[in-house]
Structure 1
Amino acid sequence: MDAAAGGHTGDDARLAARGVAVGYGGRTVIDGLDVEIPSGVITTIIGPNGCGKSTLLRTLSRLLKPASGTVVLDGTDIAKLRTRDVARKLGLLPQAPVAPEGLTVADLVARGRHPHQGWLRQWSSDDAGVVADALAMTGVADLARRPVDTLSGGQRQRVWISMILAQGTDLLLLDEPTTYLDLAYAIDVLDLVDDLHEAGRTVVMVLHDLNLATRYSDHLVVMRAGSILAQGHPREVVTAELLREAFGLRAEVIDDPVGDRPLIVPIGRAHVRSR
């Protein structure tokens, strides 16, 4: 499948990788990759384990430095921006973040204001207002005095997203935000992500659950072996042929009976009607 199928290009890209190569310990994970993140939509990166999804997200956030190529944020080489300026433009939620023991929800979310602090600008009532708004937006204001390590998995994810919102950014990068969550909590977190998108934010996620990825995304980036296999709207790119090529998965793709996205029905050996 054409790697650019259905892809967004041009001026609507807030964030882009151009010819990026990234590796660990002498092993190349991503080599010569090009991708553009369209503004104002939810983009989800999917692909089999080890294909480079999280590596790509960490590279887009400047957490990893590419061996070659460029990451461009709002038209500027991200490597040339100050760390503080990057933090004011994008927020990253890594996999399974851990808060210091005993830290309260309010204190954790307040850390999102650090990029806006400095010698000449200390904590103010404006910062307190931003934190209060972030807590309210994610529905965790009533947990403000609770230690983060006493919360459920779904509550913790909401609190971490709240901290990113307190940064004041409108570009959110979420690395597997539903990992280790029960399905009900996963839906709850993704509904929150969709609310943030509806409020005008650009979101980039890595997800493992393919049906959640198609349900909650406007733009999919499908990876295999460190490269882009396909990208575009789920209705354009999700086919039985793509799933076989990307994941080695035998499946049927049907219309979602409760939504406007495709639904993936995996086919194994058990409990399958003969045809």
Structure 2
Amino acid sequence: MAVSHITTVDSTAGGVSRLAARGVTVGYGGRTVIDGLDVSIPPGLVTTIIGPNGCGKSTLLRTLTRLLKPAGGTVVLDGEDISRLRTRDVAKRLGLLPQAPVAPEGLTVADLVARGRHPHQSWLRQWSSDDASVVERALAMTGVLDLADRPVDSLSGGQRQRVWISMTLAQGTDLLLLDEPTTYLDLAHAIDVLDLVDDLHESGRTVVMVLHDLNLATRYSDHLVVMRAGAILAQGHPREVVTEELLYEAFGLRAKVIDDPMGDRPLIVPIGRAHVRLDRGTPA
């Protein structure tokens, strides 16, 4: 289906992007998932990638972090082709929270977070008091300092997500990429984690996330990238991007878009068959 009527809003004009994909093509097992995609991550903002299942959201995020090698095109990090950088140097510049990470059995919170300092270690530079201070600050920022001696596998889902985010903070990067950080969390814990992400952004970090919940994505994002079938359908601030037409175009979702009574972002009200009043102008 043609999507030319969807307006793409450029929100990168405020600064030079540190991370971008240029003409990137990626696939698995002979199947192309992303074909010739271009995207720039706006600096200093929370960018969220949304789209239907299988559209290439996580594939794009994994490509931006060099976990996947594109068959064509280039990922640029701080003006350099990311494929030419050493793994250690990439880890010093960006932190990644993968989807549903698993810690080794019995590993304590402090030990897991300390692994975030590995990119800064070498034969000449071993563990130091500075590293210990960074780990303690990361634990404190995410509110899990009191859990430092607990095994990771003894924590609740929300606590574990905070610990994993703490590990990425311990890397000392100001560019964080989070692949579905609210997966398997109930709504209260999901909001708790996203409030933490917002705090990290307010402290000066650029954040890129993949989320499934559209209303959480609009509330917690400064910039949305909407994907469908491996391509970008629209991008920009949620107020400019989220429309009833786009939701149907991207997701096949019939919905009303109204003002969020708790904020300045749009609120999406899905329309199904049950409990829907059709006497207020709702389309049949």
TM-score in terms of structure 2 length: 0.95
Gaps of 5+ in 1: none
1:90 CA displacement: 0.2
Secondary structure of the residue aligned to 1:229 is strand
Secondary structure of the residue aligned to 2:185 is coil
Secondary structure of the residue aligned to 2:66 is coil
1:210 CA displacement: 0.1
Q: Among 62, 87, 90, which residue is 1:86 paired with?
A: 90
* Mapping 1:144-163, distance limit 5 Å: 144-163=148-167
1:11 CA displacement: 4.4
Q: Partners in 1 of 2:174 and 2:41 — Cα distance?
A: 13
Secondary structure of the residue aligned to 1:70 is strand
Tell which deviates more after alignment, 160-169 or 5-14. Answer: 5-14
Instruction: Give the counterpart letter for 1:258 in structure 2.
Output: M
* Mapping 1:47-196, distance limit 5 Å: 47-196=51-200
1:112 CA displacement: 0.1
Q: Partners in 2 of 1:11 and 1:256 — Cα distance?
A: 29
Q: Deviations over 1:75-132 (max 9, x none)?
A: 1110111100000000110000000000000000000000000010000000000000
Q: Partners in 1 of 2:10 and 2:62 — Cα distance?
A: 24
Secondary structure of the residue aligned to 1:133 is helix
Q: Is the 8 A contact 2:12 2:43 kept in 1?
A: no
Q: Is the 8 A contact 1:22 1:30 kept in 2?
A: yes
Q: Among 214, 222, 227, which residue is 2:218 paired with?
A: 214
Change (3 A) 1:10 1:258: closer
Q: Partners in 2 of 1:166 and 1:129 — Cα distance?
A: 10
Q: Is the 8 A contact 1:9 1:36 kept in 2?
A: no
Match of 1:245 in 2: 249
Instruction: Give the counterpart letter for 2:83 in structure 1.
Output: A
Q: Is the 8 A contact 2:46 2:223 kept in 1?
A: yes
Match of 2:206 in 1: 202
Match of 1:17 in 2: 21
Match of 1:230 in 2: 234
Q: Is the 8 A contact 1:44 1:213 kept in 2?
A: yes
Instruction: Give the counterpart letter for 1:106 in structure 2.
Output: A
Change (3 A) 1:213 1:86: same
Gaps of 5+ in 2: 280-284
Secondary structure of the residue aligned to 1:122 is coil
* Structure 1 moving runs of 4+ over 6 Å: none
Q: Partners in 2 of 1:110 and 1:3 — Cα distance?
A: 44
The yes-or-no answer on 1:5 pairing with 2:9 is yes
The yes-or-no answer on 1:267 pairing with 2:271 is yes
Q: Partners in 2 of 1:198 and 1:82 — Cα distance?
A: 29
Q: Among 243, 256, 259, which residue is 1:255 paired with?
A: 259
Query: Percentage identity across aligned positions?
Result: 85
Change (3 A) 1:28 1:9: farther
The yes-or-no answer on 1:34 pairing with 2:53 is no
1:8 CA displacement: 1.9
Q: Partners in 1 of 2:186 and 2:104 — Cα distance?
A: 24
Q: Is the 8 A contact 1:3 1:228 kept in 2?
A: no
Q: Deviations over 1:172-207 (max 9, x none)?
A: 000000000000000000000000000000000000
Secondary structure of the residue aligned to 2:219 is helix
Change (3 A) 1:112 1:148: same
Q: Is the 8 A contact 2:21 2:74 kept in 1?
A: yes
1:2 CA displacement: 4.6
1:4 CA displacement: 3.3
Match of 2:282 in 1: none
1:7 CA displacement: 3.7
Q: Deviations over 1:117-150 (max 9, x none)?
A: 0010000000000000000000000000000000
